[in-house]
Structure 1
């Protein structure tokens, strides 16, 4: 017999929801107070002027805040620098450019998540455009559909930013794209890769016809996979056999094929291999064998690289083998909560190299090099962000406010780094 929730249980759920909403509002108030304390000047800016280390996280009309301290706050929110700065920007957008919506959020009349979603869509509007959206949507935002929100924002663009409206119209035909997400969520789990794209209608119709025919042909040849799997296989077959246009403009005439580069790592407990051309993803050894037996596949076996070996050069620029070793070891930017892949990172000398007197500075060596994306390389170089490495692949960071974080990653537990707040000094 189905039980009916008691009034007491429902009241408890409502109290918890109210407590959650109140906590969300208090968090946003705290962020606004932080912005007041870390603003670059004493007035709200009215143009896109950036300070030496200042950044405009919301739209025009929000305060200019300290860039590297914003990374500190983002780490305190357990977010990456990009995600944290975006969240801070949305809060400032609400407070300074959508005051009517802000008041309703503070009064618990509009859920914070919905207001923040609106704020993310108004940041690029001119100040008057954001004010228009604020006037139009604040009274009904609690029950307003997202379709209505989008229509109101489009109206604001037409009224207050006609140049942007025209730019969007002209850009629509150039928005086509096709992405193979080599570093995506499936790369380290099931050996598949997500693919997304936006095609012109005629190209989409042709692609659908080709994939449909390819899947049918595979079925006619006896393939017993599901229709979805056969469609996927048909795309792979097209990729291996249709690599050039009718007019081949390549100098070599190379028609390509699947290239697999294998890095051999000594790990007797792991059934996986690491491939450098799928975003650093892990695949099962048995699956790798199937790949290597597929027609048109070229296989390159890379020599074993000991990730714990200390490789050193006397020069400032690391050798190719040292670069390869550090990239394989770290895989990502080692800043707290950052997940930028190695291909988008610089090699940072943790102890700075002294070009005038190499013997007096940090060495170009395995233990003194780490991956940092350009944004966090700047933070480490031009602010009081600092880090140490007590063990290979372990990084202890200290933020400008004195908070400490440990960044670690383990090859057998996924490729993404883990950031842990350190309340006590790290182990010696």
Structure 2
């Protein structure tokens, strides 16, 4: 019970506070999406302006922006890429709707539905849809997700029918995911074709329906157990316990007929042998409880995993030994980039200090203290995307982004198992840069503007001159072709276009083509 006196006006004030909080949340989301879109624009533009090494452009501006967003917001690669894609679409394709979100006149739920349902709309039609939706969205506050989706789909189908996702797009999203729930169970999430879904549903119903009425499980539990039976290639057995039951537990299959499934489990020695309660970890899956560890260990091949001692010859070889790879994957559990949860067993083994192939003794050694797991995307990002990393003896890695931000990741195994627990390593804390005064920050911005202005002006002038030169050549070639059509090989005698008798000009400019120098401004004529 709440020991307060009822105030008739209080509920109204609280509801007003909720509404204002929702509007403030919308404004904050709009500001975040604008910042993400601006970051994407910066990371894309710098590839065109700066004189960087060609390898630097292997990683696109979108990928580099997604990596920084994922690290800053602790998002996975997929979630960060989706956020950057939404921010770009909101800025470039739905500016009117973005303005309403920034003003708190709509919510992110509505905007996210519009983004998803207009993904394939052409740019010409998108402007009209954005304008019309911005006028109507104010009346959607009480609408459900389904009603908003139906309204947007109807408008898209009227203006751009080709943008409606047809069956060939939907079937491309087929997938099956198994996610641990942390309580000894797992969630199977799948998108399959209608035919496969109906067949799977009918098979589960058939298997669960064969059991006798005395089976103690519910229908949902029987269908869930039927999935395990399907995976193991056997019939679903009854659990009533009666000897006369026609569907009681059958004899186990022979080892040759049973499908062999291999997966790796990490657990403490005490959990496996002494009844300890520390959880275990299945690589690529997640945490399981101690009882499940012992059930699996009863029929498994066990191997003691300890940090290997690497001799001098092995440390100078690029390829890690099998024992080193096993130790690093068990220590890290996942990709070591901030926010990434890609399983370690599918990751590359990366040298933090690069291995010197010409003189291995001078480069990074192939030892656990210099190795970590990186998925292929983040491995390429580190190599070509401007990210820098430092690894410490306790396995922690400090990442520095191209914008100078630092992020620290620790090995996942250290959080679960004492064998991987970090030891004090005297790692220094990241030095905080001195705080600059407002005048110093303004002067930094002004100096940057002074440095970039001539570079950007020269780039824009060169691009404009290239377009003008190509247009001039195309026009002249078109006139030469017209002359040849009407007069054949007879030259023109006009004194105004003497160049028309010249050979056709190439309509591609060489890479080293330089435009003529810009003419100085005429003081007699205004610049407009």
TM-score (norm 2): 0.61
Equivalence map 1:105-184=2 (5 Å): 105-142=101-138, 143=140, 146-147=145-146, 148-149=148-149, 152-153=152-153, 156=156, 160=160, 162=162, 168-170=166-168, 174=171, 177=174, 179-181=176-178, 184=179
Contact 2:24 2:104 in 1 (8 A): no
Residue 25 of structure 1, aligned match among 13, 23, 30: 30
- Is the aligned partner of 1:405 residue 2:407? yes
Separation in 2, partners of 1:23, 1:262 = 43
Q: 1:260 to 1:160 in 2, by over 3 A?
A: closer
How many residues align structurally? 381
Moved more, 32-41 or 349-358: 32-41
Task: Write out per-residue CA displacement over residues 8-66 of structure 1, whole angstroms, 9 at most, x where no aligned residue.
Answer: 444444443343333333333333444454442799xxxxxxx92564xxxxxxxxx46
- For 2:259, the equivalent position in structure 1 comes to 256
- For 1:224, the equivalent position in structure 2 comes to 216
Deviation of 1:88 after TM superposition, in Å, equals 2.7
- For 1:77, the equivalent position in structure 2 comes to 73
Residue 279 of structure 2, aligned match among 254, 269, 272: 272
Deviation of 1:407 after TM superposition, in Å, equals 0.9
Structure with the largest fraction of strand: 1
Task: Write out per-residue CA displacement over residues 131-154 of structure 1, whole angstroms, 9 at most, x where no aligned residue.
Answer: 343134222234165444356447
Deviation of 1:287 after TM superposition, in Å, equals 2.9
Q: 1:410 to 1:198 in 2, by over 3 A?
A: closer
Deviation of 1:5 after TM superposition, in Å, equals 5.9
Q: 1:330 to 1:161 in 2, by over 3 A?
A: farther
Separation in 2, partners of 1:413, 1:219 = 46
RMSD over aligned Cα atoms: 3.8
TM-score (norm 1): 0.74
Residue 193 of structure 1, aligned match among 154, 164, 186: 186
Contact 2:26 2:101 in 1 (8 A): no
- Is the aligned partner of 1:341 residue 2:346? no
- Is the aligned partner of 1:384 residue 2:386? yes
Q: 1:292 to 1:229 in 2, by over 3 A?
A: farther
Contact 2:232 2:259 in 1 (8 A): yes
3-state SS in 1 of match to 2:430: coil
Q: 1:256 to 1:21 in 2, by over 3 A?
A: closer
Deviation of 1:332 after TM superposition, in Å, equals 0.8
Separation in 2, partners of 1:315, 1:69 = 35
